[in-house]
Structure 1
Amino acid sequence: MAMRRISTRLGELDCQVVDALPDGAPPELAVILCHGFGAPATDLVPLAPELMNLRPELAQHVRFVFPGAPLTLASMGMPGARAWFHLPQEVLMGQQRNWDEYSLAVPEGLPAARRAVMGVVSALSAATKLPYGRIVLGGFSQGSMVTTDVTLRLEEAPAGLCILSGAPIAQTEWKARAANRKGLPVFQGHGRSDAVLPFQGAERLRDLLTQAGLAVEFLPFDGPHTIAPEELEKLADFLVARLPAR
């Protein structure tokens, strides 16, 4: 399988675009995956070949897009690290990891991050001629927070949402909007021993979405704040299920 990877700008974000589509074949599905806080922009790129190896149908029909977050953390001594929005110092230092309280507020910088990701969705849809209903959104950690927010706000529902080690934020807004996404397929995975974003927060997010009528497939695994092998297998199956019926 010949893998292609290009760097391009979609909307206002630099993105890595990866596919193994046969020459000249258009994608039937696009998957946008956003990295976590403090990771390099290319952090999740290796997931594309892994997913394609797990389910070869993905190599035949899917284009993967990995946007780099707009903010740099160079001033914190992390030159290659990016963020979707800044976290309060007390959260970063681990003193106030009160995620229950944090999840009620709209983080400063979320609206700008949301606009940037919406711009990627819109530019990708225009470039591939795929409607939003053929685009899956998702991400890891902070990347999944932004894409959950975008999924609940887009004018049309995307094909699905993948939440890898995520957490609820802007909870009042999410609750109010989630009902408009009734039936949306969601894949959510989370480690039971996650010390960064606690497992209880993942359960709360799952319940919020399930109660609004979204179809959530929830995979708990024994592990920390990471992407587990069994999670990748389930994610590959989830993406195959989003391909148009033949």
Structure 2
Amino acid sequence: MRSVRTRLGELDCVVVDAIPEGASPELAVVLCHGFGAPPTDLVPLAPELVELKPELGPKVRFVFPAAPLKQAMMGQSVPAWFNLPPEVLMGQERDWDQFAASTPEGLAQARRGVMSLLSALSTATKLPYGRIVLGGFSQGAMVTTDVALRLEEAPAGLCILSGTLICQDEWKQRAERRTSMPVLQSHGRYDDILAFHAAERLHSLLTNAGLPVEFLPFNGPHTIMPDVLERMAEFLHNRLEKR
């Protein structure tokens, strides 16, 4: 698969595909990395997903944007989509009700960056938002959930990999206008960073609003399991085939 570094909108990105020369993508997939991870952290998922579902290869363009901010953590400056409280970073958060109700500092800037990327991607590929899947891991899943609920046109789908609930009241209101958007959500029961029960609350919020959500809990920590990748490949294939 080809890999190219470029800038789309306000964000630096790695773009990966195996689309034949002269052909255009039929679907785009934008995946945002988690807090503290290098911008290329999720790039290996592209060939893994294509290996699991080869039909994706000649038709899907994968885009992996880099978070626009830096946040101090343990004496280092690490990539971040928005600022997280120290207790979350250290796995010591206990008041998940308060966290779910909060709007994190810097989220608006991250949202603007992802929206500018989507606008540039749509223009470059001539794909409407309804042919673009959004998703991400952990903090990247939070920002893409926020964006997916705000776009004027619903994206083709949303992949929430070990994400959690923030902006609760606003997300609830906006989710009620996204009832046709399919969602794939996964979370580890032993996640020591973002609590499993908080992910269950996000699942309930989305399903109660009427969204079709496939929830994949697994016996593991804050990670992406092979079974989840297999289901994600199927999810993307279904989005590719749906017109």
1:46 matched to 2:44? The reply is yes
After superposing the two structures, state which structure 1 stretch, 101-110 or 28-37, moved more.
Answer: 101-110
1:241 matched to 2:218? The reply is no
1:108 matched to 2:105? The reply is yes
Secondary structure at 2:155's aligned position in 1?
coil
Q: Does the Cα contact within 8 Å between 1:28 and 1:244 map onto a contact in 2? A: no
After superposing the two structures, state which structure 1 stretch, 36-45 or 84-93, moved more.
Answer: 84-93
Q: Partner letter of residue 18 of structure 1?
A: V
For the aligned residue pairs, the C-alpha RMSD in angstroms reads 1.4
Q: Any residues of structure 2 matched to 1:30-69 within 5 Å, and which?
A: 30-69=28-67
Per-residue CA distance 1:129-154 (angstroms, 9 max, x = gap): 00000000000000000000000000
Q: Any residues of structure 2 matched to 1:197-212 within 5 Å, and which?
A: 197-212=194-209
1:158 matched to 2:155? The reply is yes
Match of 1:19 in 2: 17
TM-score scaled by length of structure 1: 0.95
The number of residue pairs the alignment matches comes to: 243
1:220 matched to 2:217? The reply is yes
CA drift of 1:89 comes to: 2.9
Q: Give the unaligned 5+ runs of structure 1.
A: none
1:169 matched to 2:154? The reply is no
CA drift of 1:95 comes to: 4.2
Q: Partner letter of residue 19 of structure 1?
A: D
Match of 1:7 in 2: 5
1:229 matched to 2:226? The reply is yes
CA drift of 1:19 comes to: 0.2
TM-score scaled by length of structure 2: 0.96
Match of 1:121 in 2: 118
Q: Does the Cα contact within 8 Å between 2:89 and 2:193 map onto a contact in 1? A: no
CA drift of 1:86 comes to: 1.0
Taking the aligned partners of 2:92 and 2:227, their CA distance within structure 1 comes to 32
Per-residue CA distance 1:147-173 (angstroms, 9 max, x = gap): 000000001000000000010000010
Taking the aligned partners of 1:153 and 1:168, their CA distance within structure 2 comes to 15
Q: 1:233 to 1:182 in 2, by over 3 A?
A: same
Sequence identity percentage: 69
Per-residue CA distance 1:219-240 (angstroms, 9 max, x = gap): 1111100000000000000000
CA drift of 1:25 comes to: 1.1
Q: 1:244 to 1:71 in 2, by over 3 A?
A: same
Q: Does the Cα contact within 8 Å between 2:5 and 2:13 map onto a contact in 1? A: yes
Q: Does the Cα contact within 8 Å between 2:91 and 2:192 map onto a contact in 1? A: no
